[in-house]
A and B are shown apart, each in its own frame.
Chain A
Amino acid sequence: MSTSTRILNGKVYDPINKVDGEIKDICIKDGKIVESVGDDATRIDAAGMVIMPGGVDIHCHIAGPKVNLARKLQPEDHRHDPHPGTPFTRSGSGGTVPSTFATGYRYATLGYTTAMEAAVTPIGARHTLEELHDTPVIDKGFYVLLGNNIFLQQLLKEGRKEEFKHAIAWWINSTKAFTTKLVNPGGDEPWKGKKNSNVSDIDEKPNSNDISPRQIIEAFIEAVNELGLPHPPHIHCNNLGHSGNYKTTLETMRTAGDRRAHLAHIQFHSYAGELGKNPTSAAREIADYINKHPNISCDVGQVMFGKSTIMTADAPLAYMLRGIAKGKWVNADTECESGCGIVPFSYQEHVYVHALQWAIGLELFLLSEDPWRIILSTDHPNGGSFMNYPKLIKLLMDSSFRKEELSRANQKAVNKTLLPDLEREYTLNEIAIITRAGPAKCLGLNNKGHLGPGADADITIYDDQADKEIMFNAPRYVFKSGTPIISNHEFCQDHDGRLLHVAPAYDETIVDTVRPFFEDYYSIEFDNYAVDDSYLHDHEIIPVRN
């Protein structure tokens, strides 16, 4: 079979290259998009079809220790949704926390070809890399949790900013991570060490000699900026889920000044109202700030009605939700590094808070003026499975469908939002931005999210259909690195995908600074901690900015 392909007659949406629905040939050679290919190239007629770059998920939870605990926890979630194998693809199980193989194949069935696992403890990196190796088709990477790292906080307390920066770079290199992740910074110590308490204010210091969440956030933004990582710190703010938390979110964004920061699942951080009482929407305030500040990007973390699984490094939050769900609960403390909580959950249309969360997510999408910085996500599986993306796209593109759905949700809640009055409908070009071009740009992945020459030939071809949910649920063709994975709606080949990671330079003497802490407080040997290259399958180091 020739390694080159020409896709003809399709309507192309490639926002990075300013192509908005033109009929245009797309040529593939050796896994990349090229200007043209010879006459011997395989030809695919895409007449009546829509061509987009493969989707890029900037924030999901698909691999690693907490994901596997959530998988083990819920046989009931898998049983109703098996994923059959074929003689050349592996079987698996679905539900909100699918097995690794099902995860990769199912992303492919939505036309997604890249996904980023958003929260991994450093000590769990090896495990995560093993799972990602078993996650087929997609390219993938992960964000390493450093925001509650006790050693890094010690350096900050002592004002050792330079060593702090080098230690971050050392940790990223030692884990093969893509960027840093902060989750409820400063909240772990009160949770584990002060009988399950938490920080509630960005300027709070649990002990007089502690540092505040704001100091942690600021230090990370500064250090990661100096290291030139392609993606800035990925921040899960304090007070997730609490009424009135939008003030914390605004303060977090203000802490960034004009430096880049990415705010994760911002829907969960856009609540007005009084603490302890029912929330109301602060989507307007949050959207206004983001609209005016081009240094900020975010993903929405849309809530979708139905089954979800809460899994988070924000252990106090999961404990709070345990009180609501009243079912099984997992808490998992990781020495010196992180907390974690897991709660099976379900969002219900008639419940005030759930309907409000659903509406706030949609408000944020619709009030946002710059689609490049508001990325589509459900914080899979926290707001719902990534398998809901087609329905979410329909909610954004079809205002009459949105109104129908709205009419079924708790009216008291949705009427407290602007959603009933928002008529905006996303265009296909805007969808291509929030699901492909935007996340690729935010991640600094120059070869993803577009179809210009030199790009990775990760391509999705959908039948152009009026019902966008049906359309985005069933691509006719999916190419990964130029290989046809799905052809005429059916799997035709398997693919391993690649690991994407970064390797910022650092002063190697930092190892001597970290080592004594390890020897005192970790339970594994320092020399066995860093992950070696054998855990990388096919991989790509994304360069840092100079």
Chain B
Amino acid sequence: MSDNIKTVKNATCTFCGCVCDDMELTVDLDAKRITKAKNACVLGRAWFAEHTIQDGPAAMIDGKEVTLEEAIEEAAQVLTSAKFPITYGLSDTTCEAQRQAVAITDFIRGSIDTTTSVCHGPSGLAFQGVGESTMTLGEVKNRADFIMYWGGNPAESHPRHFTRYTVTPKGMFTPNGKKDRTVVLVDVRKTPSTPVADIFLQVKPGKDFELAWAMRALVKGHKVDSSIENETGVSLEVLEDLVQRMKNCNYGVLFMGMGLTMTRGRHFNSGAIMALAADLNEFTHFVAKPVRGHGNVTGADNVVSWQTGYPFGVNFSKGYPRFNPGEFTTVDTLSRCDADAALIIASDPAANFPQAAINHLGSIPVVSFDTKETATSKLAHVAFRTSTYGINTGGTVYRMDDVPITLRPAFESPFPSDEDILTPLRKRVQEIVIGKSKAKGAGAGVTRAASPVK
């Protein structure tokens, strides 16, 4: 270890959706690495320790090193000459980069989609159907005396969720922490999260909707048949007791995991949970929230929503945003072989998507952005190696409860940030689009600004 050490206080870990902003990082500036991440969980420690600077070109075309300028020009040409370009990823980068990516997609009239579509996209659809009573995580810490996790394993996916935000912290109206709360877990199997629960319900796989709907019925005072146990694996007595506890608590919370969205029922499952939480407000204060995954997937939802009106699965081919999950979402545009070029930012569909989608991705020109070599960067036509958000570059990320936080980078990277490349790429794309529109004789962007409403 060198003597050139600095400490960064109140730094933010962007690995998972908890976005814990209480990191104290010890940075070896000569070695360009973080040697200690105080307050980090097991995942956070790995995140900070493993993001070191590795030699390699910042830009490659077909595996050969090129200058950034050459790569940006090639990317702009590929994207503007495509008929059905798609942009995908975005959950592991800053909002500043996300804003540029949506702009690019708007100008090239492509599709924009984020990892939300294969994570809590179904919860987003459910939200559009029923709405949601929800909260920031500090409300849980201060007020919640009943907490239920459904279809999730935070101990392994969001290790500090229990300790920093929900179960153990002592809050304004929960001065004794866990002692003041009832914690319930619903899952198809026991996980390392199970020991935290006062009550564990083992639901049969694929029966989440039935279980939630039975609970809604009980909340509303309807009769539920005892055959519910056969159907869902949970007895009527247990459900009745649970519903009583929910109605009698002061501030209840339902957290939704991907065990709901990735299985039979998808958005119906999330919708049932959101409706259950809404129904309970007739008796007490009740809220619900999806436990979001990647560091800034919530930021991606927010940026795409404020720029287009829709959270993911958006297409600009008609010159304005249209939303249709199942049509404009990335698994679909790829596996149907619609897309003819792809801009993939901070994600790895070539490893995580169904095979049909991966096969098509391998057959079209791909522009990729990643901090490390991935299956996607390996098949990319233009591959950018970028610096890591929160470690090398600043910017904004949104925690799973929509709370935005400003990053405090620890040390400089020789690689540019996503935003550093996306901004000139957006400018170049726009130049080409304006040029093409002039060539067509359309005049510089004329649209009727205002017409009388009649």
Q: Which residues of A contact B (CB under 8 A)?
A: 63, 65, 67-69, 71-75, 78-79, 82-93, 95, 97-102, 105, 108-110, 123-124, 126-127, 130-131, 134, 150, 191-193, 195-196, 319, 328-336, 342, 387, 390-391, 469-470, 473-475, 486, 489-492, 520-525, 527-528, 531-532, 534
Q: Please, which residues of chain B bring their CB within 8 A of the CB of A390?
A: 453
Instruction: Tell me if B452 and A470 are in contact (CB < 8 A).
Output: yes
- CB contacts (< 8 Å) of B143 on chain A: these are 192-193
Does more than half of chain A's interface fall in helix, strand or loop, or is it mixed? mixed
**Chain A minimum-CB-distance residue to B275:** A328
Give the docked Cα–Cα distance between A123 and B445 (Å): 38
Cross-chain contact B305 with A90 (CB below 8 angstroms):
no
In whole angstroms, what is the CA distance A266 to B95 when docked? 37
CB distance from B111 to the nearest CB of A (A): 13
Q: Which residue of B lies closest to A471 (CB)?
A: B452
CB A422 to nearest CB in B, in angstroms, measures: 25
Residues in chain B within 8 A of chain A (CB atoms): 9-10, 12, 21-22, 95, 99, 103, 106-107, 124, 127-139, 141-143, 164-165, 171-173, 250-251, 278, 281, 283-285, 287, 301-303, 305-311, 316, 318-323, 394, 396, 398-399, 402-406, 430, 433-434, 437, 444-454
Q: Could you name 23 residue pairs across A and B whose Cβ atoms are closer than 8 Å?
A: A67-B306, A73-B131, A78-B310, A86-B444, A88-B434, A91-B321, A93-B321, A95-B309, A99-B308, A101-B307, A105-B449, A109-B449, A110-B450, A126-B406, A127-B404, A131-B306, A134-B99, A195-B250, A333-B135, A474-B449, A524-B21, A524-B405, A532-B406
Known: A123-B403, A196-B285, A527-B9. A68 touches B305 (CB 8 A): yes
Collect the chain B residues with CB atoms within 8 Å of residue A486's CB. Answer: 449-450
Contact, CB under 8 Å: A87 / B107: yes
CB of B308 within 8 A of CB of A93, answer: yes
Chain B residues lying within 8 Å of A105, measured Cβ to Cβ, are 449
Contacts of A532 in B (CB 8 A): 406
Q: Is the CB of A191 within 8 A of B320?
A: no
In the complex, residue of chain A having the shortest beta-carbon distance to the beta carbon of B325: A75
Once the chains are docked, how many angstroms separate the CA of A75 from the CA of B313?
12
Partner pick for A335 among B10, B136, B285, B445, CB 8 A cutoff: B136
Q: Give the complex CA separation of A73 and B311 in angstroms.
A: 9
* Contact indicator A85/B320 (Cβ below 8 Å): yes
Enumerate chain A residues within 8 angstroms of B127, measured Cβ to Cβ. 72-73
Do most interface residues of chain B lie in helix, strand or loop, or is the interface mixed? mixed
Set of chain A residues within 8 Å of B132, measured between Cβ atoms? 330-331
Q: In the complex, are the beta carbons of A126 and B396 less than 8 A apart?
A: yes
Smallest CB–CB gap between A118 and chain B, Å?
17
Q: Give the complex CA separation of A181 and B210 in angstroms.
A: 44
Residue numbers in A under 8 Å from B446 (CB-CB): 86, 490-491
Least distance between A70 CB and chain B CB atoms (Å): 10
- A78 in contact with B138 given A99-B321, A130-B404, A523-B403 (CB within 8 Å): no
Task: Say whether B302 contacts A99, CB under 8 Å.
Answer: no
CB contacts (< 8 Å) of A90 on chain B: these are 103, 106, 307
Residues of B within 8 A of A88 (CB): 430, 434, 444-445
Given contacts A85-B447, A99-B309, A523-B137, 20 further A-B pairs with CB under 8 A are A72-B301, A72-B311, A92-B320, A93-B308, A98-B309, A124-B402, A127-B398, A130-B396, A330-B133, A331-B132, A331-B133, A333-B287, A391-B453, A470-B452, A489-B449, A490-B448, A521-B138, A521-B172, A522-B138, A528-B12
Tell me which residues across on chain A come within 8 A of B316, comparing CB atoms: 85, 91
Docked Cα-Cα span, A490 to B320, in Å, equals 18
Residues of A close to B284: CB separation below 8 A:
195-196
Report B408 CB to chain A, min CB distance, Å: 8
Q: How far is the CA of A131 from the CA of B404 in the complex (A)?
A: 12
**A427, chain B: closest CB distance, angstroms:** 22
A474 near B434 (CB under 8 angstroms)?
no
Closest to A111 in B: B450
Q: Would you call A71 and B320 a contact (CB within 8 A)?
A: no
- Which residues of chain A come closer than 8 Å to B403, judged between CB atoms? 123-124, 523-524
Q: Say how far B253's CB is from chain A's closest CB, in angstroms.
A: 10
Nearest opposing residue in chain A for B434, CB measure: A87
Q: Are A134 and B130 in contact (CB under 8 A)?
A: no
Contacts of B430 in A (CB 8 A): 87-88
Q: Which of B318, B404, B437 has the most CB of A within 10 A?
A: B404
Q: How far is the CA of A91 from the CA of B22 in the complex (A)?
A: 38
B329 to chain A, nearest CB (A): 14
Q: Which has the most chain A C-beta neighbours within 10 Å: B124, B139, B281, B322?
A: B139
Q: In angstroms, how far is the closest chain A Cβ from the Cβ of B132?
A: 6
**Chain B residue, CB-CB nearest to A335:** B138
Q: How many A-B residue pairs have CB under 8 A?
A: 244
Q: Do the beta carbons of A335 and B142 come within 8 Å of each other? A: yes
| Contacting pair B285 A191 (CB below 8 A) | yes
Do B164 and A491 touch (CB < 8 A)?
A: no
Chain A residues in 8 Å Cβ range of B131: 73, 328-330, 342
Known: A127-B402, A522-B138. A528 touches B445 (CB 8 A): no
Chain B residues positioned under 8 Å from A82 (CB to CB):
318, 320-322
Do the beta carbons of A528 and B449 come within 8 Å of each other?
no
B320–A72 contact, CB under 8 A? no
8 Å CB contact of A523 from B165, B250, B287, B308 = B165
For B124, what are the chain A residues with a Cβ–Cβ distance below 8 Å?
72
Q: Given the complex, which residues of B lie within 8 Å of A531, measured CB to CB? A: 406
Specify which chain A residues have a CB less than 8 angstroms from the CB of B133 in the assembled complex: 329-332
A332 to B283, CA, bound (A): 17
Least distance between A49 CB and chain B CB atoms (Å): 14
Q: Which of B278, B281, B316, B450 has the most CB of A within 10 A?
A: B450
Q: Are B437 and A71 in contact (CB-based, < 8 A)?
A: no
CA distance A73 to B285 in the complex (A): 21
With A65-B402, A330-B134, A490-B446: A521-B142 Cβ-Cβ less than 8 Å? yes
Give A54 to B105 CA distance when docked, in angstroms.
Answer: 32
Residues of B within 8 A of A192 (CB): 139, 143, 251, 285
Measured CA separation A491–B449 after assembly (Å): 6
Docked complex Cα distance between A90 and B394 (Å): 26
Q: Shortest distance in angstroms between B225's beta carbon and chain A's nearest beta carbon?
A: 28
CB pair B309–A78 under 8 Å, yes or no, is: yes
Give the residue name and chain of the B residue nearest to A63 (CB): B306
Given A86-B447, A123-B403, A331-B134, do A525 and B10 touch, yes or no (CB 8 Å)? yes
Q: Which 5 A-B pairs have the closest CB atoms?
A: A86-B445, A335-B138, A93-B309, A523-B138, A328-B131
User: A75–B9 Cα gap in the complex (Å)?
Assistant: 41
A residues in contact with B311, CB < 8 Å? 72
Partner of A92, one of B281, B303, B308: B308
**B408 (CB) vs chain A CBs: closest residue:** A528
User: Closest chain B residue to A517 by CB distance?
Assistant: B172
How many Å lie between the Cα of A193 and that of B437 in the bound state? 58
Q: Which residues of chain B come closer than 8 Å to A75, judged between CB atoms?
A: 128, 309-310, 323
Cα distance, A100 to B287, chains bound together (Å): 28
Chain B hits for A110, CB < 8 A = 450
Q: How far is the CB of A135 from chain B (nearest CB, A)?
A: 9
Q: Determine how close the nearest CB of chain B comes to the CB of A220; give it in whole angstroms.
A: 23
**In the complex, which residue of chain A has the Cβ closest to the Cβ of B447?**
A86
- The 8 Å CB contact of B306, one of A68, A123, A387, A475, is A68
A470 CA to B451 CA in the complex, in Å?
A: 8
CB distance from A52 to the nearest CB of B (A): 15
Residues of chain B with a CB closer than 8 A to A86's CB: 444-447
Are A329 and B135 interface neighbours, CB within 8 A? no
B284's nearest neighbour on chain A, judged by CB, is: A195
Asked if A528 contacts B21 (CB within 8 A), the reply is yes
Chain A min CB distance to B93 (Å): 14
Asked if A521 meets B319 with Cβ closer than 8 Å, knowing A134-B306, A330-B132, the reply is no
When the two chains form their complex, are residues A328 and B130 in contact, meaning their CB atoms are under 8 A apart?
yes
Considering the complex, give the chain A residue whose CB is closest to the CB of B172.
Answer: A521
CA distance A87 to B321 in the complex (A): 15
Given A92-B308, A330-B131, A333-B136, do A84 and B320 touch, yes or no (CB 8 Å)? yes
